Amino acid sequence: MITEDITYKAGDKNLTGYLADGAKGAKAPGVLVCHQGGGLTEHAKEKARMLAEIGYVAFALDMYGETATSREHAMALLGGLMKNPELLRERAYAGLDVLKAQSNVDAKRLAAVGYCFGGALVIELARSSTALTCVASMHPGLTYAVGDTRSVHGKVLICAGAQDPFISPETRNQFIAEIEKAGANWQMIVYGGAGHSFTDKSVDAMDIPGFKYHESTDRRSWAAMRQLFDEALGPI
């Protein structure tokens, strides 16, 4: 596996993403990894390495150019992008372009996986771009994804915790109705006992109600993502 930080630009913003290349010199599917609300941290980098261990070329993009130093800072960074869809897409596309530019990436086999804020981001990418064959959205900020009538491209997987404070049953049902109306190829898995950020081993230390690592759901959602990637991207 080859890992390296890659500095790039979106507009006039300097960003630094993280590449994990497990292709061993052959052409392989590329996976865009989209980080949580706090920015590009070890969580997203670990997921990129796990994908590279399977044989993918994974690029964990950077949407902020910095990492949050507090929950309030994270909400300000996240909110600033969610309120500016054009800027959000500009930065997401810049990260996707970095992934496409890697010499070992088969640009016809691209996927994305996102967590929390990144989970909402990959749904936005499924709506706004035809480049991705499939996306996996883990414990997404699903409230940001409802109320949208645009078409959805590629296959979509949403993995949500039944106890996630950001994904109420009403929000889930509204999203399902909308994505069904869009004619999307979608699936949603709701995991009992799981809250928000169930894939992040470091979240418990933050002591935020409704945020908790959940080992079995982390494992099961990863397996569901792998099944989707195998189906949509084909063998590595």
Kindly give, in sequence order, each residue whose CB lies less than 8 Å from that of residue 208, ignoring residues fewer than 6 positions away. 71
Sign of CA dihedral 187, 191, 195, 201: negative
Q: List average pLDDT for each run of 10 residues in the chain, which is 236 residues long.
A: 97 97 94 97 98 98 95 92 94 98 96 97 95 97 80 95 93 91 94 96 89 96 98 91
Q: Please give the pLDDT value at position 236.
A: 83
A 10 A CB-CB count for 225 gives 22
Number of domains in the chain: 1
Is residue 6 within 8 A of residue 20, CB to CB? The reply is: no
Is residue 38 within 8 A of residue 70, CB to CB? The reply is: no
Q: Please give the pLDDT value at position 195.
A: 95
Question: No. of H helices and E strands in the chain?
Answer: 6, 8
Q: Please give the pLDDT value at position 164.
A: 95
DSSP per-residue codes, 44-80? HHHHHHHHHHHT-EEEE--SSSS--SSHHHHHHHHHH
| CA-to-CA separations, 168 to 14, 192, 207, 210, in angstroms, rounded | 36, 13, 21, 12
Distance, CA of 75 to CA of 37 (rounded, Å) = 7
Sort strands 13-21 and 57-60 into parallel, antiparallel or unpaired: antiparallel
Q: Please give the pLDDT value at position 125.
A: 96
Q: Please give the pLDDT value at position 227.
A: 97
Residue 197 sits in a domain whose CATH number is 3.40.50.1820
Tokens 């070992």, located at residue: 104
Q: Please give the pLDDT value at position 143.
A: 78
Is residue 195 within 8 A of residue 212, CB to CB? The reply is: yes
Q: Please give the pLDDT value at position 223.
A: 98
Domain that holds residue 182: 2-233
In angstroms and rounded to an integer, the radius of gyration of the C-alpha atoms of the chain is 16
Beta bridge partners of 10: 13
Of 64, 53, 7, 9, the closest CA to residue 31 belongs to 53
Q: Please give the pLDDT value at position 208.
A: 85
Is residue 138 within 8 A of residue 113, CB to CB? The reply is: yes
Q: Please give the pLDDT value at position 6.
A: 98
Is residue 154 within 8 A of residue 131, CB to CB? The reply is: no
Distance, CA of 113 to CA of 60 (rounded, Å) = 10
Q: Tokens standing for 152?
A: 């959805």
